[in-house]
Amino acid sequence: GGAGSGADGGGVAGDRVRAVRVRVGERVQEMPARAVVVAMGPWSGKAANWLRMPKLNVFGQKYHSVLMRPNRVLSQAVFFQGLGDPEVYPRPDGEVYVTGFPDSPEPMREEPGQVQVRPEVAQRLVKTIRQISSEFVDAPVVLEQACHLPIASGGDPVIGRAPALQNAFVATGHSCWGILNAPATGVAIAEMIVDGKSSSVDVSAFDPSKFM
């Protein structure tokens, strides 16, 4: 976490996590835990040491986005190749989410809740979408924002139990497919916690053991 609050580490005894240390401001408290799931997106690599997964490298790929409001409600998502690869996602309320011009993946330096928007990237995105679609020529910009996609080394998600611990699990590295794959990932992790294995979906290809 950042200066405000966040998970600050785990209390590990033997092969089990006994507690998660949570930092609120300058105060740290321990929360007892029977099972721990590390699903911190691009910040998941910060837990590598106490998960005993030294090769768990998760990078952040920064994407800027803008919300725009064209004159009419659009209904079709559109994906362009070239010119920053802009992607257009209309919403039923009339706003349109536009993203593109991704940075290269790199180790996380920004903290949660403190991701900075680079105005020149947001403006380049707006300029580009207005060039390639007449729907946006006069559309006002409602919001400029930025986020990081979690990219694990190797490119695949990391889903499963931390091999050195009996009650710690990892679910991260889904890149731009996190929203799509989150329900299946959640079911798989829940089944691992309750039943000891995932029976609804096969996630063996994403086993965390390769990061030991």
pLDDT (0 to 100) of residue 37: 96
Query: Is the pTM value of this prediction over 0.85?
Result: yes
Rounded-to-integer distance, Cα 153 and Cα 57, Å: 6
Residues in a beta bridge with 106: 60
How open is the CA angle 201-167-111, to the nearest 5 degrees? 90
Q: Return the amino acid letter for 194.
A: V
Residue range 31-50: average pLDDT? Answer: 93
Rounded-to-integer distance, Cα 140 and Cα 126, Å: 10
Q: H-type helices in the chain, by residue range?
A: 119-132, 178-195
Say which residue, 158 or 31, is predicted with more confidence: 158
Binned at pLDDT 50, 70 and 90, residue 22 comes out as: confident
> Do 132 and 86 meet the contact criterion of CB atoms below 8 Å apart?
yes
Binned at pLDDT 50, 70 and 90, residue 6 comes out as: low
**Is 4's pLDDT higher than 50?**
no
Residue range 51-58: average pLDDT? Answer: 93
Residue range 39-50: average pLDDT? Answer: 93
pLDDT (0 to 100) of residue 7: 60
